[in-house]
Structure formats: structure tokens, C-alpha cells
A and B are shown apart, each in its own frame.
Chain A
């Protein structure tokens, strides 16, 4: 049994050359009819986790996935495998071909057979050797070092450090001429290859008596850009500063939201940019019903938030580190407070705009900011609350993005330009749209911790000082 370039089982990922070899093997095994499309992915994940200042897990995981599609006489057969030897590849391609021929017995409507154009494929540089080369011993050493200060101060540190790598290659070739589609154009594409890394580090430091908690975390594609020791120091300091909180009466407060808290609010805001939902009514960006045209009008072109706010996404921006995806293009949602774009898929683009390409974005985004520091925000506040982050967020009403959640890991009362006391956590009930319309001061955007189960979700947001934020009740947990 021939192992196609996989003789070294210690390899974390494949490589462009090995992937090409596998694709060529698939090509040689297919029977030559119709279209063959392949997508080969490989992923690796290494992590270290700790709890109560002790390493609890250090792991390395990896896998491959080859997805094969054969289109023969209008019929489509698909299979996905993670074994890449000759025999497995031959079996898989025979399976896909059998399914394609079975399906092609059915008379396919021509709507399925019209040529679908190849979408532009942006490339981007989101690879970091420092992330990929962080070995299990090094990760464990970093994990131990991050708990050291907490242990010395008799606090409990828990958290994790995770590095990921992934690569993907897509290739399609062939021609499928059928009775209903006699003009099929031969499909010859070049192999599309991309790879990315991701690193993330998050930790919570808690007081042994449960009277205080601090948190810090960040994610980036480049491990060397993450100052893990600084994160450990911040989490510890927040824990020490938040012990023995006092309860205050909930109500409307001026809040200083640290970037992680801003990301939680704006994340829900980002979910409202789907154009099809806006034009079905019921979205925050729906303007109203146009009875004459019998359509829902959107707020496109209208000011929706403070003019200091610009929210944009660029797949070519290495800092955003987004995986390339067909049709992905630079996209600005909000420019100087004005809603300038809503995202849509290709189906919407074709039917509503007669346009060939989608305007879609991955979850990552950058939000503009100012130059006010958090300390300056505190010093200019007569009475307000400093928020580290939010947790347990639920959207109560999609039409206004009214949401509720609780503060966590450090909440302080600010009085007369200084932090005066640690206060108990509170539940908030407010909308990010109101928050972004009540901005008093805004800081410089920084990367925050936004992990996703798969892929990348880099987010850059600034700290914000906003007025009249609504806290609805107190909450006992730290």
C-alpha cells in the first residue's frame, strides 16, 4: 500500500507539495468522465490547560479530510475520507462515481446544469512559524510560568493556551456534457492552496475564598504577538483589585467598557448585517415597509451609530487573518456612523441585484477608535462603572438587538476621576445600538479574545466610554 507522501507520521500538517501529489493521484484514479472536484484539508491543534495553578492537559491532535465530488452526466456523487493511501483513494473515487451515475439516472432540471462561474479566490498571509513551531514542551513551560505569580500570591490561576494550524487545497477539472447542457465548458482550475495558524491564550485568576476574580485573554494568528506574561499579570491584578466587592443600586450609569466588553456587545451587532434578514423586516437595520413597491426598505445610507465608528472587514488584512474563501472581498459595514453595506450571499445577489458575486464577510472585523486611554476615561468620569467583560449574553429582541447579560471578572465604581471600590456584578439590559449612539470617549482598537470552534475570528475593538448604560439587577457571582 503506497502512502502518498505520508511516510512521516510525525508531520503536523501536509504541505503544498504533498497535497498536490495526493490530488494528482486522485486525478489518475478517476475514470476521466465528467467533472472531479477535490478539497483536501489538514489541521493540527496543540494545547495546554491548567487549573488551580497545575497543568491538567497537554495535547497534540491532527487529522486530514479529503472531500471528493464527481459530476457525471448531471449526476453528483460525493464522499469524504481521512485515509490517504492509494487503496482508500481508489475506493473513494469509485464510490463517488457510482453515486454520480446513480443520481444521473434521474432527469436533472436545467437549472442544475447551467454553468456556475468560478469565483475569485483572495489569498492572504495568516501563517506564523512562531505559532506552528510552539512545541508541547514550550507550551507547557509557558503554562507553568503563567501560574507562577498567582501561586506566589496564593491565588488560583486557570486557563489555556492553544495553537492551531490548518491548510487546505481545492482543485477541480473536467467537463460534463449532457443532453440538456450540451455547451458545458471544460473546467480546468489551478489548485488553490492556503494555510493559516491561530493562537489564543485565556486565563482567570480567582481568590481562594471566591471573593475576587480577574480575567485576561487574547487571540491572534501569531503567537509571538501575544504577551502571555502581561495577560497573567493583568488577570492577577484584576483579581486582587476586585476582592470583597460591595453592592450598589442598579440603574443607568456611565460605563467604561474595556475592549473585551465592547466586543461582546458589537458581536451581536455584527450579526444583524445580513441583507436578506433586513429586507424581510424585523431587523434593527430595517427602515420600514414600502407599500407602493411592496418591499422592506433598509437603513442603508443612513446614520445608525456615532460618527466616530467605522466597522470594516478586509480578507487581505494579515492582522484580521481570515481564511480565504471564494467571493470574499473587502467590506465596510459602517463608515463614520453610516450604514454603507449589508452582506448577502450569491443567491441573493443573483435574484435581487442580478449580480454575480456575494458580498460576504467572515466574523472577523476591525472597529475604528480614537486615542483616549482607559485611564483618561476614568479620570474624566464623575460617577461611572468600569467593566472588564460580559458573560451569558442573550438577545431579547432582534429588531432592536436588545440584549441581557452579566458583568464578570472585575467591576469597579469610578467616582470623581478615580476607581474607588470593587462592586458586585450586575445584569445589564441594553442594546449595542444605544451604546454606540451614546459614546462619550473612545480609545485605540486592540485585538481581543474571540475564539471560534473552527477557523479564525480576529476582532479589533476599542475601549468605549458610553452614557446611560442600563444595569437592571445585581448578581452575586464573582
Chain B
């Protein structure tokens, strides 16, 4: 079969006219189609716009869906999308929700009556009402939930006890919801936590501890330090409110550090005053606080064992640290690796404020350094000096100890380090030592309250003058 192609030719005048008419008609069709279709096209684009601002909440049937709608708006707001500052968002938890999020929660929650809403999902209901700024309605749901678990409605003692335990759980859960709300409902949370710690509530001590601690934490991060003292006092009273069996349990003892820190928080001024009087009186007060929480501290108050070193930078000291007659801060490397960079920043701040503070960093050789050829201990010590005092500008006297080691027999041949005396005595610890060589304070390297440490150093340095 032969295909017939029409040859291209120059059209006649008539044909040109027809073509022009046809073109104009085509343009008109395109124009009309454009006018009709472009809005659809544009609206399709708009419907995909993100973030969205005005959700249709009419189809949302549960508190959970309302919370989700409001939360989406919250995270679509500029507060979360635009980084306005590199500083931490201090006080963010007390800031309010964006207006769009509140509006969505309000519209969505309009269909729910706090007197009739199902109590099966009482926490989402309370959360939804809080998001919608309907705190009175959240309170109604809270009371309904608690009244249904109230001991007064039961006559049999076992039921009463069980209901009391349930009531404790409900109290803790609702208090947590108030504390997680934005902004934090401090009054409501405080009221519920106070109720939670009443003996007749019969709540588990773990729930009490968690909620009281959270309330204190929320007050602290909101800069309401005076308010924070109340839950702090509740916490330090907790050991007297639990049974002796509970008090001596491993679970309770694991919180002894926290309780001791809270004791210190409450007795901060008292402790600093005692330290300015003498290290002995400070240690006595410290020990009395530790006894209250059954905390065993075998380091504080003892005379510091000298830090050893095979290589010293910038030069070998005439005597081993801690240096008598000066306030010392010793940082001893642990098993987990080198001190964090944040420690260096803290050390620089301390040295800047207290030039006479003697800071000593003790590390051990490992037989390798970065990607270099396996260095000798001497080379490794120089690398440590370059790293800590050179690159990181740690204002320290650096001690590098030659770590003894042995190897697993062939074919394994792994290096097994033998702990140095520094590691055995104080591995991973940061120790504050007074001018007489007594350990005043110690924490794990990279942890602890820098402000507290600074306060202690300030008092020790002043009293040393």
C-alpha cells in the first residue's frame, strides 16, 4: 500500500482568509477555555497549599480528631516554621496556642457537652477542652471522672481501696494533662497534685513522685522558682510518707540522687553559708541532708587522692594535684571516652571568672589517636595536648597517664587496658576540692548543675583569700 501525502503548497488568498478566520476562532476557544479552567487549576493549587489554615472540622466526630486538627494548625504556625532565633525557646511551654489552633479546637469541640461526653476517653476530652480554652468544661469532665471513681460511692472496703487506687491513677493522669497543656494550667495541676499526695488518696508513691517532680520542673523552667519550692518540699517529705519497705527498695533508692539535689535546691543558701563558714560545717550539713534520703556518698568529704600522670602539659608541676592552698577542679576521664565539648565551655567560663581556680584534666593513653599511625605514649600525649589545650582551648593542666595493658592471646590479640589509678579512684568524675585537699562536691563529667558548681567555687575562692 502506498501512502498518499498532500504536498505542502502556498495557499491562495481565499485559503489564507479561511486560515485567519480559523486561527481567530481557535484563539477564542483557547481564551474561553483558559478563563473557565484557570480558576479550577488555580484552586487545585491552592487546595494543596501548605500549611493550611482553616480546616473543615464538621466531619471530625471524636475529641481525638479535634485535637489532631488543632495540633496540625499549631505546628503549621510561624512559631514552628520560622526559626527567628538560635537561642533556646525559653518559656515556650507557657506561651499560648496560635489563635487558629484555638479557633479550630473551639469549633470542633462545640458539639461536645462536658456533662454528657463519654468518660471512656476522658483525657482526650479534657485535652480538647483545654485547647479550646474551655477550662471550665475541662474541670466538669475532671470532676465527673473523679466522682465516678470516688470511694464514697462504695461501701465495701475492698472496693473502696480499689477505687482509691483508681482515683490516684486518674488524678495523676489528669494532672499530667494539665501540665502538658499549652499554656500549662498551673493552678489546676497544683490542685490535683496536692490532692494526689494526700494519704487517703492511696496513690502509688511512683505516681506521686513523678507528678510532684513534673510540677516542680514545670515551675522551674517557667522561672517560677518560689512556686517550685512547694512541690520541692513535697518531694523531700516523700521519704517520710512511704513505708520503710518502700523507702529501702532499690527503685526508691535509685531516686536518692534526685531527692538530694532537691534538698540542696531548698537548702541552697544555707549550704553556701555553711561553706563560707568552713568546709567541715558544709560537709556536716550536706551529710545530714544525704541521711534524710539514705544517700550513700563515699567521696564527698574525703581527702582527694593525688592525680597521677606520666606526661604533663604545659609543664610538670612541682607536686601532684590537687594543689594545696588553691581551689582545685579535677576532671578525670572515664571509660566512656573523652570529656564532652560542653565541659570545655564550662571550664572556660569558670577559669574566666576565677583565674586562680586550678583545673586539672587527667586522661590515659589508648594506643591510637584518630587516623594516625599507632603513636607511642609520648606522641599520643602530645596529640592530647594539641587536642585539649590547643584546639579546644581547655584552660587546664593536662595529665596524661601511660595506660598499662595486656593482650588477649592470639588469634584474638585485642588490647585490654588495665585501669590506671586515676581511673580506679575517680574515673568519669569531676571533683571540686578545697584548699586543704577535701572533696567538697563531685558529679559525673558532663552532668550536674553548673550554677551550683559556680556558686561553690565562688565561696571557696573567696574564703581562700
Contacts and interface: CB of A to CB of B under 8 A. Distances in A.
A180 interface: yes
A290 to B, nearest CB: 9
A111 B415 contact: no
Interface in A295-318: 295, 297-298, 300-301
A340 B412 CA distance: 9
A347 B373 CA distance: 11
A212 B412 CA distance: 50
A18 interface: no
Contacts of A340: 411
A295 B371 CA distance: 23
Nearest to A279: B414
A114 B415 CA distance: 22
B369 A111 contact: yes
A291 to B, nearest CB: 14
Given A180-B391, A341-B411, A354-B415, A115 B383 contact: no
Given A180-B386, A351-B366, A115 B412 contact: no
B446 interface: no
Contact of B371 (A279, A341, A350): A350
Contacts of B339: none
A115 B411 contact: no
- Residue of B370, B410, B415 with most chain A CB atoms under a 10 A cut-off: B370
A393 to B, nearest CB: 30
Contact of A114 (B369, B390, B412): B369
A295 B414 CA distance: 10
Nearest to A107: B391
A253 interface: no
- Residue of B386, B390, B414 with most chain A CB atoms under a 10 A cut-off: B414
Interface string A413-427: 000000000000000
A1 interface: no
B19 interface: no
B370 A351 contact: no
B465 interface: no
A354 B367 contact: yes
B52 interface: no
Contacts of A295: 414, 416
B294 to A, nearest CB: 29
B2 interface: no
A452 interface: no
A109 interface: yes
B414 A115 contact: no
B92 interface: no
Nearest to A338: B411
A116 B414 CA distance: 22
B27 to A, nearest CB: 46
B374 interface: yes
A114 B372 contact: yes
B368 interface: yes
A75 to B, nearest CB: 15
A352 B408 CA distance: 11
A356 interface: yes
B374 A111 contact: no
A116 B368 CA distance: 12
Interface string B358-398: 00000000111111111000000001001100110000000
B414 A352 contact: yes
Contacts of A354: 367-368, 374, 415
Nearest to A295: B414
B413 interface: yes
A392 interface: no
Report the contact-size class of chain B (Cβ under 8 Å from the partner): 20 to 34
A114 B391 contact: no
Given A295-B414, A298-B412, A340-B411, A356 B374 contact: yes
A279 B408 CA distance: 13
A110 B373 contact: no
A354 B374 CA distance: 6
Interface in A317-374: 340-341, 346-347, 350-356
Contact of A115 (B366, B373, B386, B415): B373
A110 B411 contact: no
Contacts of B386: 110, 180
B387 A353 contact: no
B292 to A, nearest CB: 35
Contacts of B414: 279, 295, 352-353
A356 B372 CA distance: 8
Nearest to B405: A354
Contacts of A350: 368, 371, 374
B296 to A, nearest CB: 24
Contacts of B391: 107, 109-110, 180
A353 B371 CA distance: 13
A280 to B, nearest CB: 13
A345 B370 CA distance: 14
A293 B415 CA distance: 11
A297 B414 CA distance: 10
A352 B411 contact: no
A271 interface: no
A114 B383 contact: yes
Given A180-B390, A293-B416, A298-B412, A112 B370 contact: yes
- Residue of A110, A295, A341, A353 with most chain B CB atoms under a 10 A cut-off: A110
Contacts of A293: 416
A453 interface: no
A279 B374 CA distance: 21
Contacts of B415: 352-354
A350 B386 CA distance: 20
Contacts of B413: 353
Interface string A117-158: 100000000000000000000000000000000000000000
Nearest to A117: B373
A300 B412 CA distance: 7
A26 to B, nearest CB: 25
B411 A356 contact: no
B341 to A, nearest CB: 10
A216 to B, nearest CB: 39
Given A110-B383, A295-B414, A300-B412, A355 B374 contact: yes
Nearest to A355: B374
Contacts of B383: 110-111, 114
B179 to A, nearest CB: 40
B459 to A, nearest CB: 36
A115 B387 contact: no
A301 B367 contact: no
A250 B386 CA distance: 67
Contacts of B387: 109-111
Interface in A244-280: 279
Contact of B370 (A107, A111, A117, A355): A111
Nearest to A347: B371
Interface in B193-218: none
A116 B411 contact: no
Contacts of A279: 414
Interface string B321-364: 00000000000000000000000000000000000000000000
Nearest to B367: A354
Interface string A363-390: 0000000000000000000000000000
Given A111-B369, A301-B411, A356-B373, 20 more contacts: A107-B391, A109-B387, A110-B386, A110-B390, A111-B372, A111-B383, A112-B370, A114-B370, A115-B372, A295-B416, A300-B411, A301-B412, A340-B411, A347-B371, A350-B371, A351-B366, A352-B414, A352-B415, A354-B368, A354-B374
Q: Across chains A and B, which 10 residue pairs bring their CB atoms closest together, nearest first? A: A111-B370, A114-B372, A354-B367, A350-B368, A110-B386, A354-B374, A300-B411, A109-B391, A116-B371, A117-B373
Interface of A: 107, 109-112, 114-117, 180, 279, 293, 295, 297-298, 300-301, 340-341, 346-347, 350-356
9 contacts: A111-B383, A111-B387, A114-B370, A116-B371, A341-B411, A352-B415, A353-B415, A354-B367, A354-B368
Interface of B: 366-374, 383, 386-387, 390-391, 410-416
